[in-house]
Structure 1
């Protein structure tokens, strides 16, 4: 009998000890979490106080800075900005003058609204304003220092600027790309006429964005972004991800002492976009190299910017020897610039149609000038 009684008693006693032990462990764990949170809050508070009161100014106070509107700690002049940036800038320049000093988060900026001042900055003092901040993602094709936008002022930056102006934006190149632009505009008008026949609602902003993307992609790499194939779908997905990522990185970079934390949060996404860009652009570069080998010498009017850069890349006597990574970064930035046309269309005065009300196409066109018949 005692054996059968003591067994459960010992079992219950052991369970009680185990329960009390778990309670003690939970209390200890809660204490550790509490102390950790207190330490973390103390660290953040110290960083905020240091950034506000004890941080040395990045710009010498002895310099005569342009006039500046009232600012707030940490965010600077961000509270003056509204969703329509051009209206916010116009209001600030009308109130404080054509040349303003702004601090957007941790970024010092100049707001220029005078044509004479802008000409002096971009022509007379171009070298003084060409400095670029060092990117924490040096190996990234889109955000690294090997791209044209983020590259430091030097031989590479001057070479790529000259190449961009002479081969992509020159009157000769614009004339050569006339056929491309006519084809893309014709495609857009065909789509509008088809929508009119069906009385469909049309997102003009999206169509104009597609027009800009397709034109730039065909001028740069002879590839359209709106085709219904796997390669075009990959291009669209990469552009969409990269455009969202650039916005996140700009936000993280404006956090001042906390920007390293923001970079760390988005580092995985940066690596994914970089890998996708690298694979896509490497495939396009190899296709262009194979085309150049098969046709020996491509006619000038059929050359795109990728063909021109590859010719410079393989030329041993070129003025500047570019690397493959620099070419990929250049095309990544150009592609992102075309995708960013949507921002200007949604915020511009003449392209704000989709923000007011959708446009419904009515079948008022009885004669189709683009009919093949």
Structure 2
């Protein structure tokens, strides 16, 4: 009994403070679906997380709180809610989510994509924009885009002569890789054995970064990622990417030593500029280069892949685009920037592609502090997932949202800048993608040329409307199956 009295005496002040004098109301959290012990709502996810979240949201609303194990995850799936959370409170939501694997793959957050918001991130982004992604720099890479597009057209033309089908998915990957490598490194790396290994490792990186890492959310189950080989895959990809990036850096260091003071500043490329900055260490350089390769290659190739998929599935839209391109270019071989500026239907096709097939289906953020939005209390360090894929197909924002209808963007003020949250394919605000100009410039010139020079059909007499639109899980959504088509040169 004395022991019990001692315990009551010790606990009584705490109990009184907690239950008598505590006037703080309970937190008002967003609606949540029922969860299981330990794993929370992880059992409700699938490989295509954006589709699973859309399904759950149909029952629980456009703002809901899930639990990935012990981790609270706020899911936003309407344009209005996204604007209220992110547009009005951009700074609070300016950090990006990460796991132990993504930290390792991205050189422990020395990159731009997942680095914490702060002085380092601002400096790295400024360098990337100024030296590689600004409108001026994108304009200076025009000759690279044109040369790589001509090489791709030659390969398609060779297939026409042999009567064989073309794997456009593979060609778009190679083209996008060559453009960003030449712009960043000064030469191609996409072909050859090392190039193929690098491209394969890059694609594996995107898939790994969307895998649910169970140990991150339920720490005592981290052994599962060792048993099922996940950690082994992460380490293999990290080593392959690091080996490639190390080769690129060493190559530029050697060239710099050979040329000495005779190096022409006008011939400097992005790697050379990073190497001259003494405040960026070797891991930081490789992390930033990986960002540029990942963002510049996969976003462009996936957009081209889905644009051609939709144009082949929708012959009316394809014929409208072909008519526009051919009337503007006529019989000239080279499509100029002035030509592209006149192609309003081309721009509408690209926007409609990005609405239906956002390059990044889920935009991730992390709250930097406690905040109340829309009456909901959100704790610091909560993950936030904005389902841009679902918002792009939301009937509240779009008429006939599942229909490919480029005309909806004609005479529309919607652009890629992220000002209207019903159309944010590249994100918005501080953490919006800075490479929009480079990606769109590449997509425009390729699509215009494909429409200008070839007719397109599916192999073995397949009907256009039967072309599948199944997705491959990954950071950027690609087709699950390669886009195999049969081209025919115009006039034959």
Same fold (TM over 0.5): yes
- What's the counterpart of residue 205 of structure 2? 242
- What's the counterpart of residue 298 of structure 1? 264
- What's the counterpart of residue 490 of structure 2? 365
TM-score by length of 2: 0.50
Q: Deviations over 1:158-217 (max 9, x none)?
A: 222222333333211211222222222222222222222222222323322332222222
* 2:468 paired residue among 352, 355, 359: 355
RMSD: 4.0
- 1:171 has 2:135 as partner: yes
Greater relative contact order (CA < 8 Å, ≥ 6 in sequence): 2
- What's the counterpart of residue 157 of structure 1? 121
- 1:256 has 2:218 as partner: yes
- 1:331 has 2:283 as partner: no
Q: Residue 343 and residue 274 in structure 1: after superposition, are their counterparts in 2 closer, same or farther (change >3 A)?
A: same
- What's the counterpart of residue 32 of structure 1? none
- 1:309 has 2:267 as partner: no
- 1:219 has 2:183 as partner: yes
* 2:167 paired residue among 183, 186, 203: 203
Q: Residue 124 and residue 305 in structure 1: after superposition, are their counterparts in 2 closer, same or farther (change >3 A)?
A: farther
- Displacement, 1:76? 4.5
Aligned length: 298
Q: Contact 1:135/1:150 (CA < 8 Å) preserved in 2?
A: no
- Displacement, 1:99? 3.7
- What's the counterpart of residue 399 of structure 2? none
Q: Contact 2:100/2:216 (CA < 8 Å) preserved in 1?
A: no
Q: Contact 1:309/1:327 (CA < 8 Å) preserved in 2?
A: yes
Q: Residue 173 and residue 364 in structure 1: after superposition, are their counterparts in 2 closer, same or farther (change >3 A)?
A: closer
Q: Distance in 1 between matches of 2:107 and 2:273?
A: 24
Q: Distance in 1 between matches of 2:294 and 2:32?
A: 32
Q: Distance in 2 between matches of 1:89 and 1:67?
A: 14
Q: Distance in 1 between matches of 2:98 and 2:53?
A: 27
Q: Contact 1:99/1:112 (CA < 8 Å) preserved in 2?
A: yes
Q: Residue 209 and residue 101 in structure 1: after superposition, are their counterparts in 2 closer, same or farther (change >3 A)?
A: farther
Q: Deviations over 1:286-345 (max 9, x none)?
A: 222333441634344x443222212223xxxxxxx2211111122223333455449955
- What's the counterpart of residue 7 of structure 1? none
* 1:285 paired residue among 249, 252, 267: 249
Question: What runs of 5+ residues in structure 1 fail to find an aligned partner?
Answer: 1-59, 314-320, 368-373
Q: Distance in 2 between matches of 1:175 and 1:167?
A: 12
- What's the counterpart of residue 191 of structure 1? 155
Question: What runs of 5+ residues in structure 2 fail to find an aligned partner?
Answer: 1-23, 313-466, 470-480
Q: Contact 1:102/1:111 (CA < 8 Å) preserved in 2?
A: yes
Q: Residue 236 and residue 182 in structure 1: after superposition, are their counterparts in 2 closer, same or farther (change >3 A)?
A: same
Q: Residue 147 and residue 141 in structure 1: after superposition, are their counterparts in 2 closer, same or farther (change >3 A)?
A: farther
Q: Which has the larger radius of gyration?
A: 1
Indicate the SS of the match to 1:363: strand
- Displacement, 1:238? 3.4
Indicate the SS of the match to 2:133: coil
Q: Distance in 1 between matches of 2:68 and 2:185?
A: 36
- What's the counterpart of residue 75 of structure 2? 111
Structure that is richer in strand per residue = 2
Q: Distance in 2 between matches of 1:349 and 1:363?
A: 18
Q: Distance in 2 between matches of 1:62 and 1:343?
A: 48
- Displacement, 1:346? 10
Indicate the SS of the match to 1:355: coil
- Displacement, 1:285? 1.2
Q: Distance in 1 between matches of 2:38 and 2:52?
A: 20
- What's the counterpart of residue 34 of structure 1? none
1:7-46 matches, cutoff 5 A: none
Structure that is richer in helix per residue = 1
Q: Contact 1:101/1:109 (CA < 8 Å) preserved in 2?
A: yes
User: Which aligned segments of 4 or more residues in structure 1 are displaced greater than 6 angstroms?
Assistant: none
Q: Residue 89 and residue 275 in structure 1: after superposition, are their counterparts in 2 closer, same or farther (change >3 A)?
A: closer
Indicate the SS of the match to 1:151: coil
Q: Distance in 2 between matches of 1:107 and 1:193?
A: 52
